[in-house]
Chains A and B, each alone.
Chain A
Amino acid sequence: MLVKGILSTWLFMLLFSNVFAASRTIPDELYEGMIQFELDSGRYFDALVLMDESYKKTNPIKYLSALQGFNINQDLPQLVEQAKNQKNLTDADYFSLGKSEYLRDDCMSALKLFKNIQGNLPLESKEPLAFYRANCFINLGSNTRAAQSLTGMIGGIWAAYAYYNLAISYASGSRDKTKALVALRVAESLNNGASKEAKSLNDRINLVAGKLYLESGKKDSAVQFFQKVYLDSESTPPALYFNGLAQLELGDFRAATQAWHSLKHYPLINQSVSEALLAIPFAFERSGYISQTIEAYLEASNSFESELEKIDKIDGLLTKHGAVKIFIDDSEIEGLEWFLAKDVVRNTTRASYYQYLMQNYGFYDQVQLFSELSVLQTSLDFWVSQLAVFEKSLRSKLSSFRNKQSTFDGPSIIREINTQKNEIDALLKQSGMNPTLASNLEVDAMKNNIEALRQRLDDLQQKIQKGERRLNDQLTEVKRLGQDIIKIERNLKQLHRALGDELTKSARLHLASLRKKMVSNFERSEQGLIHIFEDMAESKQMKKRNLLDGRYQ
């Protein structure tokens, strides 16, 4: 019983023997594999938390990839320079460094680094390499070099995107659209995936190809491409609008207006939808349907006017509640259910305005930063609750330890052990005791156990002396960590607020630009109406004049 008590106390003490061990006990292979797993899964924050100083020094390229992945860019130039000067860089290292430079918009440096790749790159990195090189050449103004760097691409989404980008570059840089169309054809043939991304790219390829054919006057070919665009894609509104345009030029008034009418299901803030609303009366007018023209212009004017009211209302909401509550948080504001609803359909007012704002890179980056800060806030909240649990548990252990310490009677245990030892010694000295009997009674084993007990008791007494101090140290550490959290949390909240204000400013700025466009659309429809009425007045005047003019009688 006594031995059991001693051992359990000893086990309890052992639990705290390594509390402040900072050096890692995990084998290097497992530790590095864990970091690799987090990096490749895109969990850069977790990867960075795992990386200790020695890992960062020996793996600067992985460290800088993780930093860049979590958008910590201040130290990148210095880290890239350090990494470049490392000896024995592999092809994979040059690829990572080049990619990092490409992502920092330094194409010259990226291309120089890519040039060091000897051909030992894993297969899955070869396609991205060709993509980055081609994009760099396009950015630097050399479509020819870009095309050369793409030769030999096997297929897949990287290859398809690379050729798509090349096509866009050809289309914007030259009047002759042949090269752009050829590049688009290659992109389509290389894009054989069935993923959502691959389908979306196919839609974009078809839209651009159609538009290029339309610009070249080949309306039949254009229509074929526009009709290939799926109806649930972000390319659908422009494809439908241009399809209508091509149909009208082919003389098919009915098909043109059908395409434009179908756009009424899409949000008006998409400029293709606005253009379609204006194109409908134009088509009616061209076909001589004057009353329908007037109706269509009136409908367009009303739609634009109502959208302008909506824009003003959202602007007012932004001013009152801020962009975070209106667009990001799951808010419940009385009277705003119509806007804050997050239905399964994607064309709710909130969703369409959110999509509109997120198409701007600057706004997108701000929202991304906001969400990163929210992740950090969540991690701090988690630790605040964890530390509260640790503190409670440590205090209870300290109190229990003090109770146990007060009831722990070391000298009496030593006396007990000595008594046991004396009894064994006395047993050995008894007459009739011989080695065989001693062996049968396992006297040596008993003596050894007694010695082991004495040793354990010595260790335990030392640990008891240290125990309270150790628990107090842990409590101090909990307090220190808690204070550090409070300090950082204060700064984080302040930053969150400031970023929220910036988001509001930015959203209002974009809404102002949208409003300007909507006013212009409204004016165009009103001018269309004036034009029709003027024509009507003019034709009446002409008729009257003709009747009065004797020469025509």
Chain B
Amino acid sequence: MFLRFRAVFIFIVIIFFSSIATLQAQAADPVAIDEETLDAAGNSQKNSPPPNANLSAIVNDAEKIKKDIIELNRRLYQFEEALLYPANTQLAVFLSYADNNAFLLDSVELQLDDKLVSSSLYQEAELAALKNGGIQRIYLGSLADGKHKLTVQFNGQGRNDSYFRRKKALNFIKEEQARFIQLIVSEDRATGEPLFKVKQW
């Protein structure tokens, strides 16, 4: 019995001293960074929680709902367009870039019969999209048949950081079918000045 008690006592003493040694070792090396916490880039990479079945179900449901809402939005836009801008009264104005164009568009203002109907500001992503062949619809509306005037003002920077403000006016006759007008931003190769062309569909 005594021997047994002695063994337990010795065991406790060993544990006590070894824990002190551990404490000292830790105190002596406080600068050892936790590799799990800080990767080589100094970014924190926390432990990811285990895969969550509930979350996977939510993600799947979300994908289904996204598809449903996209489809519903398409129907709603079609309905709205047919109701407010039917083909026979519709006027749509588009903006695009010609190839190899260095003009940086800041903003566009569109006036219809001397009334401001639309204005757009351009950020990097939108300019890149235009340069990549994208076409932006800058106005969609309904218009009575007859003579009308469309005025567009372009503001932006051309080559050599020179600032430009250009106005382009177009007189047109609206007839019984939809009218599509495309404004094309291009550039004078020789002078580097911006040019604006109009294409009517």
Chains A and B form a bound pair: yes
Residues of A within 8 A of B132 (CB): 36, 40
Chain A residue with Cβ nearest B76: A383
Interface contacts beyond A20-B82, A37-B126, A271-B44: sample of 7 additional A-B pairs, CB < 8 Å, sorted by A: A17-B88, A19-B83, A38-B134, A359-B45, A361-B48, A390-B80, A492-B69
Residues of A within 8 A of B180 (CB): 26-27, 30
Name B42's contact: one of A36, A42, A235, A362 (CB within 8 Å).
Answer: A235
Give the chain A neighbours of B18 by CB distance below 8 A.
Answer: none
Per-position binary interface string of chain B over residues 109-138, scored 1 when its CB falls under 8 Å from any chain A CB and 0 otherwise: 000000000000000011011101111110
Stretch at the interface among A45-53, A437-445, A461-469, A544-552: A45-53
Which of B62, B63, B96, B201 has the most CB atoms of chain A within a 10 A radius of its CB? B62
Choose one: A33, A37, A376; the contact of B66 (CB below 8 Å).
Answer: A376
Residue pairs across A and B with Cβ atoms less than 8 A apart, 27 shown, are: A21-B82, A27-B180, A33-B94, A33-B134, A36-B133, A37-B135, A41-B134, A49-B70, A72-B66, A74-B60, A168-B41, A207-B42, A208-B41, A211-B42, A248-B31, A272-B42, A275-B30, A281-B30, A282-B27, A369-B59, A386-B76, A387-B76, A502-B54, A513-B46, A524-B27, A527-B23, A534-B24
The answer to whether A502 touches B44 (Cβ under 8 A) is no
Q: A: which residues have CB within 8 A of B? A: 14-22, 25-27, 29-30, 33-34, 36-42, 45, 48-50, 52, 70-74, 168, 171-172, 204, 207-208, 211-212, 234-235, 237-239, 241, 245, 248, 270-272, 275, 278-279, 281-282, 356, 359-362, 366, 369, 372-373, 376, 379-380, 383, 386-387, 390, 474, 477-478, 481, 484-485, 488, 491-492, 495, 498-499, 502, 506, 509-510, 513, 517, 524, 527-528, 530-531, 534
**Chain A residues with CB under 8 A of B201:** 27, 30
A136 to chain B, nearest CB (A): 20
A281 to chain B, nearest CB (A): 8
The complex places the Cα of A27 from the Cα of B182 at a distance, in Å, of: 11
Give B144-175 as 1s and 0s: 1 = Cβ < 8 Å from A's Cβ atoms.
00000000000000000000000000000000
A513 to B46, CA, bound (A): 8
Write out the residue numbers on chain B whose beta carbons fall within 8 Å of the beta carbon of A72: 63, 66-67
Inter-chain contacts of A386 with B (CB < 8 A)? 76, 80
Chain B, interface residues (CB within 8 Å), range: 35 or more
- Considering only CB atoms, which chain A residue lies closest to B64 in the complex? A74
Contacts of A390 in B (CB 8 A): 79-80, 83
Among A235, A477, A495, max chain B CB count under 10 A is at A495
Q: With an 8 A cutoff between CB atoms, is B100 at the interface?
A: no
The residue on A at minimum CB distance from B89 is A15
Contacts of A45 in B (CB 8 A): 70, 73
* Chain A residues closer than 8 Å to B92, beta-carbon distance: 26, 30
Residue in chain B with minimal CB distance to A233: B42
Chain A interface main SS type: helix
A530 to B25, CA, bound (A): 12
In the complex formed, the residue of A with least CB distance to B78 is A22
Quick check: which of B2-10, B32-40, B187-195 contacts chain A, the rest being far away? Answer: B32-40
Please give, as numbers and ranges, the residues of chain A lying within 8 Å of B186 by CB-CB distance. Answer: none
Chain A nearest CB from B124 CB (Å) reads 10
Closest chain B residue to A49, Cβ basis: B73
Q: For the complex, what is the distance from the CA of A74 to the CA of B30, rounded to whole Å?
A: 48
Q: Are the CB atoms of B125 and A48 closer together than 8 Å?
A: no
B83–A369 touching, CB < 8 Å: no
- Give bound CA distance, A73 to B180, whole Å: 36
A234 vs B128: C-alpha distance when bound (angstroms): 28
Q: Which residues of B contact A380 (CB under 8 A)?
A: 69
Does B65 lie within 8 Å of A17, measured CB to CB? no
Interface residues of B (CB under 8 A from A): 20, 23-24, 26-28, 30-31, 33-34, 37-38, 40-49, 52, 54-55, 58-63, 65-70, 72-80, 82-83, 86-90, 92, 94, 96, 125-126, 128-130, 132-137, 178, 180, 182, 201
Bound together, the chains give a CA A376 to CA B201 distance in angstroms of 34
Residues of A within 8 Å of B136, CB to CB, are 34, 37
A234 contacts across to B, CB distance below 8 A: 42-43
A36: B residues at CB distance < 8 A? 129, 132-135
> For residue B38, which residues in chain A have a CB less than 8 angstroms away from its CB?
238, 271-272
Q: Which of B33, B80, B86, B129 contacts A16 (CB 8 A)?
A: B86
Q: How far is the CB of A201 from chain B (nearest CB, A)?
A: 10
B73 to chain A: which residues have CB within 8 Å?
Answer: 45, 49, 379, 383
Say yes or no: B45 contacts A498, CB within 8 Å: no
| A-B pairs, 8 with minimum CB distance | A33-B135, A37-B134, A238-B42, A40-B129, A531-B27, A278-B30, A36-B134, A271-B37
Q: How far is the CB of A200 from chain B (nearest CB, A)?
A: 11
Tell me whether B58 and A495 are in contact (CB under 8 A): yes
Cβ of A312 to closest chain B Cβ, rounded Å: 19
Q: Which of B23, B65, B75 contacts A495 (CB 8 A)?
A: B65
Which residue on chain A has the smallest CB distance to residue B71? A49
CB atoms of A495 and B61 under 8 A apart: yes
Contact (Cβ within 8 A) B129 A527: no
Closest to A481 in B: B76
The reply to whether B30 and A528 contact each other, CB–CB distance below 8 Å, is: yes
